[in-house]
Amino acid sequence: MSTEIPKASTTPTPDDAHRAVPGHRRRITAEIAIVLGLSLGQSAVYAVVNLLDKLSQAPLAAQTTRLNPVLNDRQFFDLTYQLLGIFFALVPVFLVLFLLTEPGKSAFRTLGFTFSRPRVDFGLGFGLAAVIGVGTLGVYAAGRALGITTAIEPAALDAYWWTVPVLILSALRHAVVEEVIVVGYLFHRLKQLGWSTPVIIVTSALLRGSYHLYQGFGPFIGNVLMGLIFGYAYTRTKRVMPLVIAHALLDIAGFVGFALFGSAIGIGD
């Protein structure tokens, strides 16, 4: 099926130039379905089933969700499985970057996934982390009080010399996978399909919330709100790097903080 853009009688605007023609639109739609099916869309389906499973067993308030669990009772194999899980979770990110790479134009630059603007990236990243961090703790506390959120243990690993480095790598993995795919990639492709910016932001936020449903309804609400804020920030900066930095800071604080101090805090995953 041809993907050639037909000639127009008038000069197209920049937005029109990046909007897909019907044949290409179907291809992009299929591509999005495949990418999400291999990554966070799959996670969303499992999260919904997991939530239904939990609801059928006992009240959510009486259950615990453990993030970063032990994968093997022998230290070497546990470390091996942890590192393999982190690496293969990043493969869909490699796929997305490959799909968005065009002749003479890097996907990293297209998504703003570079360190070319460190002041903006780190300044906005730290600011977003502070705002979202406080809000997340509030939503978690409210969810626990209302009985709609499970108790969350952000780090359930045994204490080894590699525990903290692996938790940091896990946090970076979640930050990169979620922000590159759910924000950078999805915004870029849905814009090509002609979706409006508000609809894209809401769709991305709902997807973000859906794959956190295994933690309960509170984290769903909190992550939808986080998605709305992150989506708006991305539309203003056209850069995914500040979001990656903010998300990494949140998860590192949650994972490592819990591992070191044992406080049951819900900073998402």
Q: What is the mean pLDDT of residues 122-133?
A: 97
pLDDT in tens, 34-68: 999 999 999 999 999 999 999 999 999 999 999 99
This prediction has a pTM of 0.88
Q: By the 8 A CB rule, do 54 and 151 touch?
A: no
Q: How high is the mean pLDDT of the chain?
A: 90
| Residue (of 154, 158, 132) closest to 222 by Cα position | 132
What is the Cα–Cα distance from 255 to 249, expressed in whole angstroms? 10
Q: Which position has the higher pLDDT, 20 or 6?
A: 20
- Least confident stretch, 19-28, 36-45, 99-108: 19-28
pLDDT above 50: residue 105 = yes
The pLDDT assigned to 23 comes to: 78
Backbone angles phi, psi at 7, to 5 degrees: -70, 140
Q: By the 8 A CB rule, do 177 and 93 touch?
A: yes
- Least confident stretch, 17-21, 103-107, 138-142, 236-240: 17-21
pLDDT in tens, 132-163: 999 999 999 999 999 999 999 998 888 899 99
The pLDDT assigned to 265 comes to: 44
What is the Cα–Cα distance from 204 to 56, expressed in whole angstroms? 28
The pLDDT assigned to 19 comes to: 62
Strand partners, 102: 105
The pLDDT assigned to 24 comes to: 87
The pLDDT assigned to 267 comes to: 44
Percent helix, strand, coil in the chain, to 5, is 70, 5, 25
Helix H or strand E segment including 215: none
What is the Cα–Cα distance from 209 to 212, expressed in whole angstroms? 5
pLDDT above 70: residue 107 = yes
Helix H or strand E segment including 153: strand 151-153
Q: What is the mean pLDDT of residues 225-229?
A: 98
